[in-house]
Amino acid sequence: MATRVQRASQLTMADMKGRVDPDWCPGCGDFGVLAAVQKALVELQIPTHNVVTISGIGCSSNFPGYMNTYGMHTLHGRALAVATGLKLANHALTVLVTGGDGDGFGIGGNHFVHSMRRNVDLLYVVMDNQIYGLTTGQTSPTSRVGMKTKSMPFGNIEAPINPISLALAAGATFVARGYSAEQKHLTELIKQGIEHPGFSFLDVFSPCVTYNHDNTYQWFRPRVKKLEEDSAYDSTNWLAAMEKSLLWGDEIPIGKFFVRTDVPTLHGAEPVLNDGPLVHHDLRVPLDAARSFVEELM
């Protein structure tokens, strides 16, 4: 959940810019994701010093350096674990985790699943380009069967992960998919994800214009279809969400698949945090507690 500033319209897009400009390839989908995240923070008016953007390693994981928030550019696959520790130590902070499909679903797959079942209160944005980019084009956990890459030159023979179904199965309480070329729609999903009390998973199609010649803007454009345009779709219905998540082909749904707000967040479920963020707690153990710890041993 986000802590908003009192004075509205204080933050502008200019306040969101990091110390350096992105070094992504021209046309990279990640530009659109960066812009949408920045726009969402401006619209939500969250003070930038209360936001921490945390990433792993990969093209998209350079993200924190392009933001004007506190940032952590951690290890390959470990962003969610680092973010969990940080959030538990100071749950007043708004935590954004950003990264790619290899980082999140490959090397970081274990943390991905467990962060969702724990309902850690953060927004996890995966820039899913279905390829390894920074290592110059190898198969990723979301690469389609048959896709030819440098690591599978005769075509991928392994079935890809379905991130949406996986997130639903693992117990994520907010599950959505965006498309970096759909700016307004994506910004709205990011805002909702930040405001959602619990684990928000946002898988974003973010085409790699250099290494993925299968899943291009031209390929996505006619296929993506917004769930929000279907007035009958109920995003609180888990089974319906699971069913929708299986759609892949001529029609690929984007939008909010699922949300529920009745599950306590990890930090909300732990009484140790009743007195506020850990980082503000007194360092010393209360004297009577310390005395009782020693008494037990006598």
x/- contact string, 51-70, with other proteins (CB under 8 A)?
A: -xxx--x----x-xx-xxxx
- Rule CB under 8 A: say whether 138 interacts with other proteins: no
Part in contact with other proteins (CB under 8 A); list of ranges 201-209, 210-218, 256-264, 282-290: 282-290
Options 10, 12, 261, 292; binder of other proteins; rule CB under 8 A: 292
Cβ-based nearer residue to other proteins, 78 or 177: 78
Beta pairing, strands 199-205 & 51-55: unpaired
Structure tokens, 141: 């956990």
Applying the rule CB under 8 A, the residues between 94 and 123 that interact with other proteins are: 110-111, 113-114
- Rule CB under 8 A: say whether 159 interacts with other proteins: no
| Alpha-carbon distances of 245 from 37, 160, 177, 239, 256, rounded to whole Å | 24, 14, 10, 10, 11
Q: What's the distance, Cα to Cα, between the start and end of the chain in Å?
A: 45
Do residues 182 and 35 make contact, with C-beta atoms less than 8 angstroms apart? no
Phi, psi of 105, deg, nearest 5: -100, -20
* Nearest approach, Cβ of residue 222 and other proteins (Å): 35
- Rule CB under 8 A: say whether 38 interacts with other proteins: no
Residues 6+ apart with CB under 8 A from 73: 55, 57, 61, 62, 64, 65
Angle at 110 between CA 227 and CA 182, to 5 degrees: 25
Cβ-based nearer residue to other proteins, 7 or 184: 7
Options 12, 23, 136, 150; binder of other proteins; rule CB under 8 A: 23
- Rule CB under 8 A: say whether 87 interacts with other proteins: yes
Structure tokens, 258: 């699922």
Residues that bind other proteins (CB under 8 A): 18-20, 23, 47-50, 52-54, 57, 62, 64-65, 67-75, 78, 81-90, 92-93, 110-111, 113-114, 270-273, 275, 278-287, 289-290, 292-294, 297-298
